[in-house]
Amino acid sequence: MTDFVAADCGIRQLHARFVDAVWRQDAKSFSECFATQGQWKIAGMVMTGRDEIAEACRNLLGRCERIQLVSGQPILEVGEGTAIGRLQMTEFAKKKDGSTAITFGVYYDRYVEEDGAWRFAWRHWSMAYHGPTDLTGTFITPPDYGAFPGMPEADEPTFVRKA
């Protein structure tokens, strides 16, 4: 089995690179957080491979002037060169039109060691809130997958926010 402490450190660094890429709006660095054929599932979309992920990242981040992500601590189960995990994520966004929003949710992740680094093999976003920063918006009740290591099925769709 892969050393848990080394995997935990590598996966935390992966999350730090992910947050940094979003802050800098760097789609290339963002996509490099994913395995070569990694999959990112968010807002009803499924992107596979770094090129698709980079393009989706450019489109999504391009709507905002600035985004600050705050990630929770990952809960992990580590195997041989692979791991699964989940973590809570908060997003503060200032959009190009001057409006602001906050988003809460959970990322369900499958990780793999590739080219000497931990990367996302599969990343599923489960949103619980997106709306005004004063939290007057409507909270969403996402599916409950139970205690860790409960995860969505690989083909389960992500929630699409209704305006």
Instruction: Give 99-142 pLDDT, tens digit per residue.
Output: 999 999 999 999 999 999 999 999 999 999 999 999 999 999 98
Q: Tell me, what CATH number does 79's domain have?
A: 3.10.450.50
Domain membership of residue 141 (yes or no) is no
Instruction: Give the whole-angstrom CA distance, residue 105 versus residue 130.
Output: 9
Tell whether the model's pLDDT for residue 91 goes beyond 60. Answer: yes
Instruction: Give the whole-angstrom CA distance, residue 154 versus residue 122.
Output: 8
Cα–Cα separations (whole angstroms), residue 78 to 5, 11, 49, 84, 136: 10, 10, 23, 7, 39
Domain membership of residue 93 (yes or no) is yes
pLDDT category of residue 147 using cuts at 50, 70 and 90: very high
- pLDDT attached to residue 2: 73
Domain membership of residue 160 (yes or no) is no
Domain membership of residue 12 (yes or no) is yes
- pLDDT attached to residue 54: 98
Domain membership of residue 73 (yes or no) is yes
75 alpha carbon, distance to own chain's centre: 14
Domain membership of residue 150 (yes or no) is no
Instruction: Write out pLDDT tens, residues 6-46.
Output: 999 999 999 999 999 999 999 999 999 999 999 999 999 99
Which tokens is 126 given? 């489960």
Side chain identity at residue 50, one-letter code? R
- pLDDT attached to residue 161: 67
Domain range for 62: 4-131
Q: Give the count of domains, the chain.
A: 1
